[in-house]
Structure formats: structure tokens, C-alpha cells
Amino acid sequence: MTSPALDAPGTGTAGRGPAVCPVSPDARDPLGLLDLFSDGFVSDPYPWLDALRSESPVHYDPVTGLWLVSRHHDVRRVLLDPDLFRPDNAQHTVAPLPVAALRVLARAGFTLPPALANNGTASHPGLRRVVARFFNGQRVEAAVPVIERIAEELLDTVRSRIDTTGGCEMFASFAQVLPCRVLMELLGIAGVAPATLIRWSDASLELFWGRPTRERQVELAQSVGEFHQWLTATLRAGTAPSDSFIGALTRHRLPDGRPLDVETAVGACFFVFIAGQSTTGQLIATLLRRVLGESGMWPRVAGEAGLAEAWVEEVLRREPPVTTWRRVAGRSTELGGVQLPQDAQLLLMLLGSGSDPEVFPDPERMRPHRANIRHHMAFGAGRHRCPGASLARTEAAVALRAVARRLPDVRLAADAGDPPMLGLLSFRAPLRVAVEAIHRATPS
């Protein structure tokens, strides 16, 4: 099992109360008050990110032991140099795991060797090619009818619920389910219910990237262990169709000609099955909230060519579901005017880089047709850039259009307030998107 990367004092709670605004005139050291897990940071991280970029663009956070890298060009430099800035820590647990949780994972045979996101070895290019074949342009284009069909099936239920009750919660009923079902069809995932895969994925994200209580860690470890055991049993069975993702992994050979071992294949599946659907669901949820909240935009995205795609890119720039990613310095080096020691643990603030005013003018404004919109790094960059980027973009745009067309008469629920937010180290999204029907007066 991957060892815990951090030992932050005061861990064991999901947050320690609202953060103090970093621009407060009473704060002598405003960045010293930064808490990446606080309710204040999760609900509105932008003042903190602005302060980081302007005051301390490569900032050591003593609570987490991470160096926070917030400027666009520094983040890009790190991502494009994987030999100096290694991916080894990408999937380390944020909070140390208690013995009870470690025992649960050990009983499940849990291991997570270098496979994809955490792999800086010679085996990475070949494994990445296996993954990329399932997410290339041809396959994504062919997937559009699948996405549309599943979206319509889910929206049938959503429409019925709105007609019956006057409203519906769109995250759990649509945004979260659509990419899971699409991924299962595209990769040939069978033998598990979508709801179970979603539960396993959510548990994995919280265990590895959250700061849960010790009791919660043990509970999460049970689900993660179940996930790992199912993947291991499925791969060992050797019954996956040859054209499925698992079938392709079982045929893969390492650089020295040896067959891919089961443990590494499980590690690849573990990452792809989570990243291929959880983050896309988070993107769709954020997208729906942002477009529904923009005056006059909802009817336009239903039919205006290219507008849904433009909104996807702007949300990826300003509010990406993957907010940060980790790297480790392979040797002592300079970054952003700061000397980093060897083995320095870096946290790349992808969310902050998308709001860097040196790259994106008026970054706080949502401008879907920015000329340089593809310069954001929501999917990373370089050797480890997300291989599923094209599918995620396509799914989100198709989903937005489908909802706007089927539900032209909805708005964000007036009494919903601010939604609860997923606030993990590297993932942020609304966990609730409540809509209600717009009741128009009938003509007399």
C-alpha cells in the first residue's frame, strides 16, 4: 500500500471552521492562516489563491508539509519536467492511516504500485498507450450516441420527478450517474452495479485525498478494500472480453517482455475507473450550477452551436474538478525564485493557475469564448496529461445540452442556498444541484 505522505497536526476533522480572509488588514501573516481543508477555503478559495500568486507563489505550508505552487508558468514548468519533478507521490494518502485502517486494507490485499498517475518508470508509456486507445478521438466520437442515450434515460426519470414534485436534485440523479454508466459501456466493465462503483470511487477519493476522522478512515478502508478485491478477482479470472479495457491490460507486455503483473493492472484499473467517472460527474455538476445561474444563458446552450463546449472550457479554467496535483522534487532545484530541497513535496494549484491574470485577463469573469481558453491546465500537461480529457469534455457538453433541451423550464431552486461542497485536497465540486420548475402564469 502507498505510504501516507503527510502527517499534519490537528488532522482528524473535515475542517477546522471558517478560514480567515487572507487580505484581512489585521492579519500579520495572512498566508499563515491558510487551511486547505477549512470550510472557508473550500467555499471560496479564490482570495487565498490570489494571495498565494501575488505574495508567495511557491509557498511552504507547514500544516501539510507541501510547497504550494500557484502561478501558471511555474505549474506548467513542473508538469512538463517529470524527470525532475516526479509523480511518485500523486496517490499518497493525505492523512496518515490508523493501524485499524491499515489492517483492513492489508486483509484485502491492497497494494497500489506505480501504474499511471504515480508512475515515473519505464513502464508508464506502454500502460498509457493502453489507456489512450480507449479514449482516442475516434472512440470518443463513436461514444456520443451512447452518452446521448444514457442522458435521455436518466432525464426521463428527472423529468417525471420534476413534473410530480416540482423539483429534483441533479447531482445524484444525473451528473454523478451519467459518466459512470458511460465509462462502464466504453471499457466493458461488467459484474458490478453503477451505484457500487460510484460508492467505491467516492470512498477512495475521500480516503486518499481527504482528512476524515480515524473512525471514518476505517469505514472508508472497508469500501476501498472491497473495490480492490473485486478488481483483483476480475483480473485473475481471465474472463474479461478481449476488446474490454481489462482484456487489453491482461495482454499487455512490460518493456522487458514480461506480462503485466496483476497488481500493476489493478493499480491502473483503480485509477482509470475512478478518474474516468468521478471527476467528470463533478465537472457536470459545477457546469450545471454555473450555467443555470447565468442570466439568460440556459435557453442559449440548448441550441447555440459551440456554446456548451465553450462553457465546459471556461468552467475547467475557473472551477476544475481536479484542483491540485502533487509532485516531488528529484533533486534540489529553484522554482519561482525559491530554492527547493531534494524530495520537496509540491502541490500544484491547478485551480489557481486557471485564474492567473498574467494568462487570463479578468479571471473572475466567466467568458466562455476566451481566445486562449485551452491554455488552462485542468487536465494537467505533458507526459501525464489526462488521457480521458477528450471524453470528459464531450460528456460534459453533451450533458449540458441534453439537460437544457429536456428541462427548459427549470432554474436553481430558490431555497437551496449554497450547496455542500466536496472539499478534498485535489477535488472540489458541488454535491447538490437542486432545480425547480418555473411556474409561468397561464394565459386567461
DSSP letter string, 276-329:
TTHHHHHHHHHHHHHHHTSTTTHHHHHHSTTHHHHHHHHHHHHS-SB-EEEEEE
d(CA 171, CA 92): 28
- The pLDDT assigned to 14 comes to 32
Q: What is the pLDDT of residues 176-189, one digit of tens each?
A: 999 999 999 999 99
Q: How buried is residue 417: exposed, middle or buried, by Cβ count under 10 Å (0-12/13-18/19+)?
A: exposed
Segment holding 246, helix H or strand E: helix 245-251
Candidates 375, 396, 387, 155; CA nearest to 287 is: 396
Q: Where are the domains of the chain?
A: 64-437
User: 30 falls in which pLDDT band (50, 70, 90)?
Assistant: low
Residue range 406-411: average pLDDT?
96
d(CA 354, CA 425): 17
- The pLDDT assigned to 90 comes to 93
User: 325 falls in which pLDDT band (50, 70, 90)?
Assistant: very high
Task: Report the share of the chain in percent with pLDDT over 70.
Answer: 92
d(CA 277, CA 185): 12
Q: What is the pLDDT of residues 298-316, one digit of tens each?
A: 999 999 999 999 999 999 9
d(CA 339, CA 337): 7
Question: Is residue 344 helix, strand or coil?
Answer: coil
Class for the domain spanning 64-437? mainly alpha
Compute CA distances 408 → 172, 364, 366, whole Å. Answer: 20, 27, 22
Look at the pTM and tell me if it is higher than 0.85: yes
